[in-house]
Chain A
């Protein structure tokens, strides 16, 4: 069984993240999205194999899976935590929007979490997770290199 320190350190390394906090945040938001799409039995299997601090991020999900969660909604929680605006825009007012890049950044961070999950979970559970994911996100999971 992995411990939480090892898990977050591995996410930080895989994602090339600047800080420990970013690794924790990427893990938390990825699992927040996962709990929307994972069947209860798969979620229970995951919790049993993950460090308690990581498994806790799966707590409190909806009672049933949501088949309408797609790639965009999956990255949403993580994009919500990333820098999406730059300085004040002097020409039009408001903030200068850079969120278009945040989607790719979020996808990269999610893949880092997936890579570590694939190491921490047994192959059957990892396969069940991949099956439950929306199309493009399943490809990210499949392609994540431990």
Chain B
């Protein structure tokens, strides 16, 4: 808490200094998350930030809030469990493009269709940066890296299209170089009741010399400035979501309200969430001893 007891970005200040490269887009994402939480009047004890492995997945250490760094590709699974156990928590997942769309691709698909009320912020820099420059699931065709010396030959994952096809109820894209836009997008995503994907285009200053700040600045445009765009239309979302190259749309690309979140219709939680139950009262000491003999 800030010295004066007021909720502000200092409330979320961590004693740890980020080890990201100077100029890394992750700084913009961190600033936007803090600002969004403050503007939504959410205190650190009310939020749970789950990450995987990668440069950006170090983020929970750099913000003073509940955090959990999971293994590579699994943060969505852990976050879903946390939301089921305590639905009152605001659950955020922060993970990279490799974590989310590569090794965690399976969890991504099933989280889209399950629709738990969690916000997924993907730091999409189109490269594996923590391991020093290998191509990732979102790298463009022809992109040269240490693992694609002749250029990437396969088509990239389009997270917007995949999320739409898999049944996601909120899909947005933002840009780490415009943290004010990102803050607004995160606030909208957190306000959505259900799974919300925020795919964040993020320059990697060290290893991606193609998709740079300059490259994005020349291409991005906000669909919010287009009066003809309807974010409730799956057709519009598909058309803009698959647009990539000379022009790249950002903003809220799709939203479908009124779909009950996963945690509201899981039969095992009919008696209420785990966090509200007195679990110890139901524990049979004999059964506990039996389990200990069997497994310990």
Contacts and interface: CB of A to CB of B under 8 A. Distances in A.
A49 interface: no
B88 interface: no
Sort chain B's interface into a size bin: 20 to 34
Contact of B22 (A66, A79, A85): A79
Given A66-B179, A94-B133, A95-B133, A76 B217 contact: no
A88 interface: yes
Interface residues of A, number: 37
A29 B205 CA distance: 13
13 contacts: A29-B214, A62-B180, A64-B180, A68-B28, A72-B24, A76-B23, A76-B25, A77-B213, A81-B209, A85-B132, A85-B207, A94-B133, A99-B21
Contacts of A32: 213-214, 217
A85 B177 contact: no
Interface of A: 28-29, 32, 36, 60, 62, 64, 66-70, 72-73, 75-81, 84-85, 88-89, 92-97, 99-100, 102-104, 106
Contact of B180 (A66, A72, A75, A84): A66
B23 A106 contact: yes
B257 to A, nearest CB: 27
B134 A94 contact: yes
A72 B26 CA distance: 9
Interface of B, secondary structure class, is: loop
A76 B203 contact: yes
Most buried by B among A77, A88, A102: A77
B21 A77 contact: no
A95 B146 contact: yes
B32 interface: yes
A29 B35 CA distance: 26
